[in-house]
Structure 1
Amino acid sequence: MLLGRAAIYFDEVARRGGLRRAAEMLHIAPSAIDRQIIQLEEDLGTKLFERTSTGMRMTAAGELLVDGVRRWRRDLERIRSEVDNLVGLRRGHVSIGLVEGATDIVASAIACFQEKYPAIQYSMEVMGSQSVIDRVMSHDTDVGVTFNPPDERALRVEKTMFHRLGIILRPDHPLASVTEVSLAQCAEFPLIVPDETISIRKVVDEAWARSIGGVLRPVAEVSSIGLIKSLAARGVGLGLLTVINALKEIEAGELTFIPLSDERIDLFGLSVISASGRALPLPASLMIQMLARELDHWDYTSPTGHPFFLQVESDPPSGRQSSLP
């Protein structure tokens, strides 16, 4: 029973906290999931969930079981990948957690990867920087693309590209012709800043406190990088972002990026990460290589010759396959 649908249904309910939400993800009726869980509880002789008015909460037995089920699912995926390695990459799956600022880079890597391995499937979830790190370290996600990961033994940084905080603005804005700008100069114009749900906001606040002091009072706080770009393109204000957030619009001539000149502003490191000591399936290992190549490809210099990405670093070789087959 544990090596069948019941385990998958149980795991999904545990993740989603309710039958209906799990049913929506699995595209089956809630009653079918409920029957499998009831049968599983009867087989084990204990309750796995407490059913409440707001959803399903795992019991102590459920907490114990879910760890084993998830290990089994990860092991099964690994074994499937190893079997596929015997006959080539005919199928497989890669899960990627990423910050919103990395969506264009990841999308470009996926497009290249799909050309080589059209049968590979992907799960991608956009989340906060710390959530990416947590999911990778817990082995719930194969590969992460995130900002400024910590120096943790359980975390392997596969590739890092350092870049600068700056402003995005319309090409006809009065500041668009300068090569660098200070926060004090920016403060003379309406500012559009990411809210606390976006990783970059912490660096923005720290930079403001060091260079200007007082409370940052933007014209708009926004929970979407895409909306910040749209507002800046319409002249609502200056968007405080990194160049990596708007490369597509910059290259299309829709926006201009000006790096901040303030010396005490931290650099951003966009990193490809994985869990140390974890034997990844071959598709995930190859995806890491593709993402690392993509970071090199996006090493961008402004039309005036001013570097926006200051350096690209890699960890020493990890013993993974050295090249994409």
Structure 2
Amino acid sequence: MHVTLRQLKVFETVAQHLNYTQAAKALHLSQPAVSMQVKQLEESVGMPLFEHAGKKIQLTEVGREVHQYARTIFQTFEEMEDVVSALKGLDTGHLDIAVASTVNYFAPRLLAAFSRSFPSIDLRLDVTNRERLMSLLQNNETDLVLMGRPPDDIDLEFKPFMDNPLVVIAPPGHPLQNQRNIPAKRLSDEVFIMREAGSGTRLAMERYFDEQQIEIRPGMQMTRNEAIKQAVRAGMGLGVVSTHTIELELETGRLVVLDIEGFPLQRHWYLVYRKNKRLSPAARAFFDFVMAEAQHIKDEPV
């Protein structure tokens, strides 16, 4: 089987986008040129790599296998570049970081500080939800992930780098606003704006209510913290969020934190990567930087 790196790169890009036009734009090639490279690769493999489902394309079983090997090959090339650069004494390299959407409230400050210390390292950031973070970890598609509690069903290395307290928020003027040490059972009378199923915040919230033997009265379900905060401000219910997401709202009096028994729920942010993964020099530099500087940078005035 005769396969070129160019064919693999074109195929890997099409597989990533599942769209020939978008892949052509990403590669700065014409669509016919992309189609030709994929066709030549399919001829070498001897089987189709894509199949059409209406107007869309998707990977065949063989395509999925080839895609996995292609990703591994290009990840290995990046690791080689980083190692060679390190041996030359250069603070260079590529670094793919994925973060939970809640982490992104302080991640830009963290990445900016890191870039000032290591200006030659090329940083790429993916802000996404917990489900996609687990997919990235499962498929080893990113260098490091910053997230809440790591999943138990993937072999991972992880280390906590910052506290992540969760609190109950309410609109100003809520009847419970000025009460102290409110019994947990009082929450059974309240409606809660919920994060999507599977999110770290929702898992922690559901665990708390189960321990207190309280049934949650769910209101609307939101996929972003900003939407939850707006819904709470509008009086649609209470919410459970990270304190890192409400600094501005507390300063301006747009939201209040209720003094609920058992809250804040003490959680942590973790640095996570696949077990047995060899961190590149750039990834190791970022790991060490976050462990040493994250809390200090987060607490700095904006």
Q: Counterpart in 2 of 1:270?
A: 269
Could you tell me which runs of 5 or more consecutive residues in structure 1 were left unpaired when the two chains were aligned. Answer: 301-325
Instruction: Report which stretch shifted further, 103-112 or 254-263.
Output: 254-263
Residue of structure 2 in register with 1:62 after alignment: 63
Taking the aligned partners of 1:180 and 1:160, their CA distance within structure 2 comes to: 29
Structure 2: distance between partners of 1:54 and 1:182:
56
Structure 1: distance between partners of 2:133 and 2:224: 17
Change (3 A) 1:27 1:247: farther
Matched, 1:165 2:157: no
> What residue number does 2:78 align with?
77
Residues 107-161 of structure 1, C-alpha deviations (whole Å, 9 max, x = no match): 1211101212233333322333353234224321100111211457831113244
CA distance in 1, matches of 2:117, 2:64: 40
Q: The residue matched to 2:261 in structure 1 has which SS?
A: coil
Whether 1:297 aligns to 2:296 is yes
TM-score after normalising by structure 1? 0.76
Deviations 1:55-84 (A, max 9, x none): 333334333322321121011101111222
- 4+ residue stretches of structure 1 with deviation over 6 A? none
Report the RMSD for the aligned CA atoms in angstroms: 3.2
Structure 1's 258 and 152: CA in aligned 2 closer, same or farther, altered over 3 A? same
Match of 1:228 in 2: 228
In structure 2, the partner of 1:318 is none
Give the C-alpha shift of residue 37 in structure 1.
0.4
2:145–2:273 CA contact under 8 A, matched in 1: yes
Work out the number of aligned pairs and report it: 297
* Corresponding residue of 2:14: 13
- State the partner residue of 2:110: 109
SS of 2:279's equivalent?
coil
Deviation at 1:182, TM superposition (A): 4.2
Q: Counterpart of 2:101?
A: 100
Residue 10 of structure 1 deviates from its aligned partner by 0.7
User: How far has the Cα of 1:192 moved from its partner?
Assistant: 2.6
Deviates more, 1:236-245 or 1:163-172: 163-172
**TM-score where L is the length of structure 2:** 0.81
Write out per-residue CA displacement over residues 187-230 of structure 1, whole angstroms, 9 at most, x where no aligned residue.
55554332326332233233334436345232x32221112223
Query: Could you tell me whether the CA contact under 8 Å between 1:233 and 1:254 is conserved in 2?
Result: yes
CA distances 1:229-284 after superposition (whole Å, capped 9, x unpaired): 23334555432212133245445665443464238x96433211122222222121
Counterpart for residue 317 of structure 1: none
The residue that corresponds to 2:241 in the other structure is: 241
SS for the counterpart of 2:94 is strand
Distance 1:277 1:4, change over 3 A: same
